Structure 1
Amino acid sequence: MKFKEWKPLYQEIIDYLNINQKKDKKARDLLQQKITPINLKELKNKINNKILVYGNSPNLKEEIRANEPNITKISADSATKHLLENNIIPNIIVTDLDGDIDSIKEAKNKKATIIVHSHGDNIQEIKNNIQALNPVIGTTQTKPIKNIYNFGGFTDGDRSVFLAQHFGVKEVELIGFNYEKAKGTKLKKLKIAKKLINYLKNNKEITINHRHQ
Structure 2
Amino acid sequence: TRASADELGSLFRGQVVTVAGNGPSLGSDLKGAEGVLVTADEATTVALEQGRHPAVLVTDLDGRVEDQLRANAEGAIAVVHGHGDNGPAVRTWASRFTGTTVATTQSRPSGGLVNFGGFTDGDRAVYLADHFGAKEIRLVGWDFEHPSPKDGDLKRKQRKLDWAYILIQNLDRPDLEL
TM-score by length of 1: 0.75
In the aligned structure 2, how far is the partner of 1:132 from the partner of 1:185? 30
Q: Secondary structure at the match of 1:164?
A: helix
Larger Rg: 1
Q: What is the rounded CA distance, in whole Å, between the counterparts of 1:110 and 1:165 in structure 2?
A: 24
- Matched pairs, number: 170
Whole-angstrom CA distance in 1 between matches of 2:119 and 2:90: 17
- Match in the other structure for 1:14: none
CA distance in 2, matches of 1:206, 1:146: 35
In structure 2, the partner of 1:136 is: 101
Structure 1 position 40, deviation (Å): 2.5
Distance in 2 between the 1:206 and 1:167 partners? Answer: 17
Listed as ranges, the matches of 1:5-20 within 5 Å are none
Structure 1 residue corresponding to 2:117, chosen from 152, 167, 180:
152
Q: Per-residue deviation at 1:109?
A: 1.8
Q: Does 1:166 align with 2:156?
A: no
The structure where helix makes up a greater share of residues is: 1
Structure 1 stretches lacking a partner, 5+ long: 1-35
1:41 paired to 2:6: yes
Distance of 1:142 and 1:87 partners within structure 2 = 35
Q: Does the 8 Å contact 2:20/2:43 carry over to 1? A: yes
Alpha-carbon distance in structure 2 between the residues aligned to 1:146 and 1:170: 30
Asked whether the 8 Å contact 1:95–1:114 carries over to 2, the reply is yes
For the 8 Å contact 1:51–1:164, the answer to whether it is kept is yes
Q: 1:39 to 1:109 in 2, by over 3 A?
A: same
**Which residue does the alignment assign to 1:190?**
161
CA contact (8 A) 1:165 1:206 kept: no
Per-residue deviation at 1:170?
2.7
The equivalent residue for 2:89 is: 125
User: Once structures 1 and 2 are overlaid, which stretch shifts more, 54-63 or 77-86?
Assistant: 54-63
Structure 2 counterpart of 1:30 = none
TM-score (norm 2): 0.89
Aligned to 2:151: none
Report the residue type matching 2:23 in the other structure: S
Q: Does 1:82 align with 2:46?
A: yes
RMSD of aligned C-alpha atoms? 1.6
CA contact (8 A) 2:13 2:132 kept: no
